Structure 1
Amino acid sequence: MSETYAAFVIDDDKEMRNSLAALLERSGWQVTRFSAAQAALDRLEIEKPDVVLSDVRMPGMSGLDLLDRLQNVDAPPLVLVSAHGDIPMAVDAIQKGAYSFLEKPFEPRRLLTIIRHAAEKHRLFISAQRMRAQLVALSGLDRVLIGGSPRVAQLKSDAVDLAMTNGPVLITGETGTGKELVARALHRLGPRSDNAFVAINCATLDPDRLEAQVFGTADGQLGAFRRADGGTLFLDEVGTAPLPVQVKLLRALETGDILPVGADDDIKTDVRIVAASNEDLDAKVADGSFRADFLFRLNAFQLHLPRLVERGDDIVMLFAHFVDLLAETYEISPPKLTADDAAALLAHDWPGNVRELRHVAERRVLAARRGDGSVAAALRNENPADDVPATLREAVARFERTLIGQAVRSHNGRMDAVAEALGIGRRTLNEKIVKLGLDKSELIQ
């Protein structure tokens, strides 16, 4: 059974409007007729047709004026029809975003073919957008890239696209912007998600022990590359890697071949590299502290995470998200956000970015438990007594949250190792994580 498509038909000429509508309806279309473009534009607020078919020259709003108003990303495609059209008008309309342009008199079969292709393309686009949104939510990107600003929307879209590639990605941004969360989301969204995500901090790599830490040993110690084989290797703070470390990593990035300490032969690995830096690597190349060829290997693709202060009203939305999440964790009703609270959030510089925002949200929630507090007070870190648990039950819960969080960070999110270190079963660990409202991806940010 063929799909049923919906169309808006706009023409101030009643005879032409009815003729076009009848042609579409005989072909199985659902048609809504309009004598003026403004009326159709108003109806678009509540109805979402698959295509808009409009005359060009009409009183009031013309078809070209309507085209200018249909520039949002999910607007239906516009097919223009005119008895007065000429080549320059058609070219101008197509350049401005019209799907197609037909000059009257037109061949009915050709019109039906054009608008059907337009509708099919639009439905595919909407389906892809819906799937993209679902992927973003499932990957955890929404936890760090909450907001509706165009910049954040573009970041989410770019991240989904890059997740499907196999090339290296360099994530840049200030401390606390969520670079590791985005790296983990790239892994979860991509075809390597069933394999390991291994994170190493380049600032802690010892050049004398690099081979063992990263490439392993012949007697069985698995290095980072082999643990990440088939998956993703995340090089955090890559700008801090000493030059000798960069040289040794470069060969592995170029060929995928590693030589474990004490081994005679190379081992082939298949690793996707994602790196992160809060430093200007181009400047480091210029001053000689970072190899240009190493940077070239790392930044086949690049994502830059904006500072929190650059995200405008998203700050308030993100803060509200953290407050709701933490209020549930501490088993209280989330405090209401006042106009003064919003003003304080927007006036702050946020040097610690998203990480600092979460800490402020937690202080606000802890103060609310006592029946007082404000965002301004939380920003000043007042009322340290709020950090004292009110009950033994809460004290135990907070201790467990701290202990489990430290273990998750220490073992880079490897939950079997976390459970073993804590001396509990994996199932018990999972139950506690759910009960305590912990988020593993945020713990290892």
Structure 2
Amino acid sequence: MTKPFSILVVDDDRAMRQSLVELLEVAGWRAEALPRADKVAEFLGDFLPDVILTDMRMPGMTGMDLLESLAQDWAPPLVLISAHGDIPMAVEAIQKGAYSFVEKPYEPRRLLTILRHAAEQRRMSQSNDRLRERLLQLSGLDRILLGGTPVVAELRGEILDLAPLDAAVLIRGETGTGKELVARALHDLGSNADGPFLALNCAALSADTFEEEMFGRIGQSEGRLIAASGGTLFLDEICACPMAVQAKLLRVIEEQQVLPVGATAPTPVSLRIVSATNEDVDAAVRDGRMRADLLFRINTVVLTMPPLRARRDDIGLLATHFLSEYGAVYETSVPQMTQDDLAALLAHDWPGNVRELRNVCERRVLMARRGTGAMAQAISADHPHLDDIPDTLREAVAAFERELIGKAIVANKGRMDAAAEALGIGRRTLNEKIVKLGLDKDALL
């Protein structure tokens, strides 16, 4: 059952006050009354109504004074009831934030309609606030984008605002700032949350195999884009996408349909487009590495991820969070941060951003398991000397692939399909690389 609307009536005229209360109670409202406006602030500590109905002219504090004293986000809407001579003042009050005003003598039906609309607006606002808070908790945005700096708080608000919309979003930011996490949050909070989330590493896409892999082949395969219909398509590293593939993606985005190989008629798809890049997209267009028409399709809204060096006040909080997280993962006690540890964290420039900080904290926990280490050592281990770099480019690439694939397998707990998707490659390609690089999956796990 819906809770009845509540109202506080403020009027120094006793007869008027009583008649208003009687009218409202007959209409099903819970009504309280006060003879003076200067008593309202104290009264609101015990009773916060949906609406305040106040006379304009009263001894001491006027209706205008009351409005100015309640200029807070939590305050209920205020409706003025005024004599004909007070109308210019009432108009001024509305310009300053009052919900509406009613002339004396009032017409009961019109008064009740105005008050009901004000109360409904108040209830809707409160409902939206509660929903936003609930979504913030459910989505884990406070954990994904942990931090108290204003730039992070603003970013969390932007994500909550954008999530229900179908507008294309371009996420810009340096490597390691959490662009894919934000893309997933937009999906998880959106209207298509029950649909698939398809992440494509655009740098790994090939024009030769794109259509069969993404559009499918009649009688053989469905195609990844068709399978992802009703969900979100995340285009990571969009500036690194081959030009020939960009043309095919543009056609999909514009037409919202694909033509499977061997088909005579296209198949409709419904995809929300979220893209990400760590490059300057305008420079990529100027250099001829990105189509301008594709950029116009994917940058309806742009979110910018702040680098970690721009939010140094969050570093201590983030490090504490990651240390606790990896303490639980490795089932060991969490190393306590000292002043020297914090000084080392703050002195570092964090070119790898939050991802680098996470890796440093994992390394610190592993050191602590052996009873050694400090944060400065964990940081320096993330930046090896040149002597540690392989002699040839082929060896360096193999070492990098070995580390990257190993981390993906561990992060996805041995689920190879998930590891392949995280790496932006096919399952078959992942299996071939594991054999070529001599990786032992069981040893990793």
Deviations 1:341-379 (A, max 9, x none): 888877765543433443455456556768898877766
3-state SS, counterpart of residue 411 of structure 1: helix
Instruction: Indicate conservation of the 8 Å contact 1:202/1:240, yes or no.
Output: yes
Q: Which amino acid aligns with 2:52?
A: V
Distance 1:11 1:347, change over 3 A: farther
> Which residue of 403, 411, 421 maps to 2:420?
411
Provide, for residues 71-123 of structure 1, a one-character-per-residue CA deviation record: whole Å limited to 9, x for no partner.
55454222234458745533433333322233444344433332222122211
CA shift, 1:201, in A, is: 0.6
- Asked whether the 8 Å contact 2:174–2:307 carries over to 1, the reply is yes
Asked whether 1:120 is paired with 2:120, we answer: yes
Measure the CA separation in 2 of the matches of 1:169 and 1:399: 26
8 Å CA contact 1:224, 1:233 repeated in 2:
no
Report what 1:6 is aligned to. Answer: 6
Shift of 1:234: 1.2
Q: Which amino acid aligns with 1:303?
A: L
Alignment RMSD (CA, Å): 4.5
The one-letter code sitting in structure 1 at the alignment partner of 2:295 is L
Secondary structure at the residue paired with 1:176? Answer: coil
1:368-421 per-position Cα deviation (integer Å, ceiling 9, x unaligned): 768898877766669x9xxxxxxxxxxxxx99955726846523269xx99xx9
Letter aligned with residue 282 of structure 1? D
Within 5 Å, which residues of 2 pair with 1:126-275? 126-147=126-147, 152=152, 155-217=155-217, 220-261=220-261, 266-275=266-275
Matched AA of 2:298: L
**Whole-Å separation in 2 of the counterparts to 1:43 and 1:381:** 61
- Is the 8 Å Cα contact of residues 412 and 418 (structure 2) preserved in structure 1? no
Contact residue 7 and residue 32 of structure 1 kept, 8 A: yes
What SS class does the counterpart of residue 239 from structure 2 fall into? helix
Number of positions where the alignment pairs a residue of Structure 1 with one of Structure 2: 405
Structure-1 residue corresponding to 2:94: 94
Give the alignment of 1:218-367 within 5 angstroms. Answer: 220-261=220-261, 266-310=266-310, 318-331=318-331, 350-362=350-362
SS in 1 for 2:97: coil
CA distance in 1, matches of 2:315, 2:7: 39
Q: Give distance in 2, aligned partners of 1:204 and 1:57.
A: 72
Extract unaligned runs of 5+ from structure 2.
385-406, 432-444
Query: d(CA) in 2 for partners of 1:403 and 1:57?
Result: 68
Tell me by how many angstroms 1:304 deviates: 3.3
Distance 1:400 1:275, change over 3 A: closer
Note closer, same or farther for the CA distance 1:253–1:372 as it changes in structure 2 (3 Å cut): same
Give CA-to-partner distance per residue, 1:141-180, whole Å, 9 cap, x none.
3332345666655544543454434443322233223221
Distance 1:50 1:355, change over 3 A: farther
Is the partner of 1:249 in helix, strand or coil?
Answer: helix
Provide TM-score, normalisation by structure 2. 0.71
Q: Secondary structure at the match of 1:404?
A: coil
Matching residue's letter, 2:214: V
Q: 2 CA distance for matches of 1:12 and 1:350?
A: 64
Q: CA deviation at 1:275?
A: 1.4
Per the alignment, residue 440 of structure 1 pairs with none
| Paired residue secondary structure (1:210) | helix
Q: Which deviates more, 277-286 or 66-75?
A: 66-75
Deviation at 1:200, TM superposition (A): 0.8
